[in-house]
Structure 1
């Protein structure tokens, strides 16, 4: 019982519960929802669950980067635009190279996209840590500038290309799982090892908890902040690569549109406080999977576009409430509270004897 109570206090536990509930709702509507079959055209495994895993890869990437930015008491509103920039660089590069089966062309496109993403992240980190601008304002400006950069790269036009190895990033499979999801999990594990096996994770948390005390302890916040924003932008560009590789087209207006909101929601659902401090990589990953499942559920249930934000808000608010200790105590332990016995009535005072 104590282990169960401790588990219910873990924020990402309720994210898993939310995923299970959404899958249950979809299964009630269609009992074959969780079925996995073989696509006769491609010969690969296909099914709704695999679709969810595939579309979750970009969300996992931007949520992972957003986790460390929020842990430093910052915010990165530019991840959606950086996704568009990364996708634009990749598509234009592949289109200009014109090598539909070249692995070298794919690596060149990926390298250029990640390099430009790192440059944009470095600009964010410089403005926040050196110039001293607020993260909200800095990344808001970069959010607007990023779309402009993507339009300049593509000439304002949606750009497509053909490259089989690059297309396999999203449409290929590894051991029956979408390759993009497998690569995203590998990146999550690699970043987790770096954060938890080195002092970087502790320094990020210390800056978020008390930047002045961390500075007095010998931690230099400027390099850490620049590193965090560069990492966020690199992961956002990687998410953009996963997005455009699915359809081999970049939409400078639609690619990554409002994805920063999904990233923030995934991080919050995972238990990382917006006030900064301790972060949860597992929680952010679970939150990203929940957002992907929720998006898929909205489409599957046929929720209208006008009602979609309200539907998502209801689910997310319910999960956030379940993370509250006060709400959990009210819902889960209300019947287990012992009844306090009524206090006995006080006996009437006896009159004192008067001594003559």
Structure 2
């Protein structure tokens, strides 16, 4: 498996995947790549105040999503899971509305989608996932929670507490760490003691698996096995997908200030997950160039459709600031609303 220090030639494994599934995964990866490009452009145009790119992590995200069952499982995302949302079937205009700052957590239905609200708290989705998973087991359900986090979040107390809790109670959780090498501006070697997030799993009584995060087939296998293990009542698993963040942390970041951009370029050129998946499909005989070109064109059109939808989506009424704060309103909230209404009338 290529390490973070080596961005040499690699490959994707698809032989264990059904051809239809492999092609679907490629379609999602290609759509996510194009939508990511559109989203960065929308930020540059002032439509989005900020955006966090998923470029280079499409394989890990799409593979994890397609390894789950949307009818019973539940995903708890960070702010960088756009490709997970896309592959999981989330309504994407509503999802992308968060990046336009139309609504906290998105305009999609989190309960219907079984995909939690976008969470910008570092490590924040992980205890939420464990709490849901414990509740799912107590009610006798067969659902599994996917807890998304990055290598930087793996150093947060919330993540350690959640893993320990899940290990003690045997919660049906897949802890899914996308180790993209950079915790914003801090590299792995300066914030992950021992160099491995997966190795920490042993301390919480669960298996830890490290996989090539740019190999969609490898990630799909690891997450599928972890989900089935949880479904059988055998407890949580930690999956570490080793990948690389080729773009800055966000559109507000200048990654050239803290890393050698030549390294990112090597990953772009030699370890691009979309290119690896395309080559694997051809080599396995799952698709030819003409079919993949058609999928590329359809993916591009879909990304443009989502872009146009979120660009023209109407802004919610300002009164919605007060509608989902508490189950029952309070006197203080009512007072704040009256003040807001008076200021709006001015």
Higher relative contact order (Cα pairs below 8 Å, separated by 6+ residues): 1
Structure that is richer in strand per residue: 2
Fold agreement, TM-score > 0.5: no
> Which protein is bigger by CA-based radius of gyration?
1
Q: What TM-score comes out, normalization by structure 1 length?
A: 0.26
